[in-house]
Amino acid sequence: MGRGMMFKKMGGGGYNTMFKKNGVEGRWVLFGWNQLWYSVSDGKTDAQTHRRTDGHYYYIPSEKNSAGITIVVVVVVVVVVVVVVVVVVVVVVVVVEVVVVVVLVLVVVVEVVVVVVVVVVVVVVVVV
């Protein structure tokens, strides 16, 4: 009988099922591929790490689990912030380009109007 057999669930329960281990009542809480044993009395996680050959049970300390969650959360937040910054920069660049194009079009229109006015004035002066 392997060490993992000592931690067998009672009653064949599933996710988050209450049961006893070494006389202490607790529950399994699923996190990714990890099933963490939490004691009901003191809220502590089993500090030993075991894996059965059938892949059923993983026991890891809550500190390792929370550190893993923290790393994942930090990575996700950094990725989201980078994506948002890139999108904002792209939008600002596009808006600036549109404004520049509009200003250039206005400059061309003003130049055309000035040329037309000058031509009209010259024609009027020459004719008169």
CB 12 within 8 A of CB 24: no
CB 74 within 8 A of CB 82: no
pTM equals 0.39
Element (H, E) at 30: strand 24-31
- Tokens at 90, concatenated: 């792209």
CA distances from residue 21 to 7, 34, 41, 52, 67 in whole angstroms, order as listed: 6, 17, 12, 16, 25
Domain boundaries of the chain, sorted by first residue: 1-60, 77-128
CA terminus-to-terminus distance, the chain: 118
In a structure prediction context, what are the per-residue pLDDT tens digits for the chain, which is 128 residues long? Answer: 333 333 444 344 444 455 566 665 666 555 444 555 555 555 454 434 343 333 344 444 444 445 556 677 888 999 999 999 999 999 999 999 999 999 999 999 999 999 999 999 999 999 88
CA angle 32–19–63, rounded 5-degree value: 40
The span from the CA of 45 to the CA of 47, in Å, is: 6
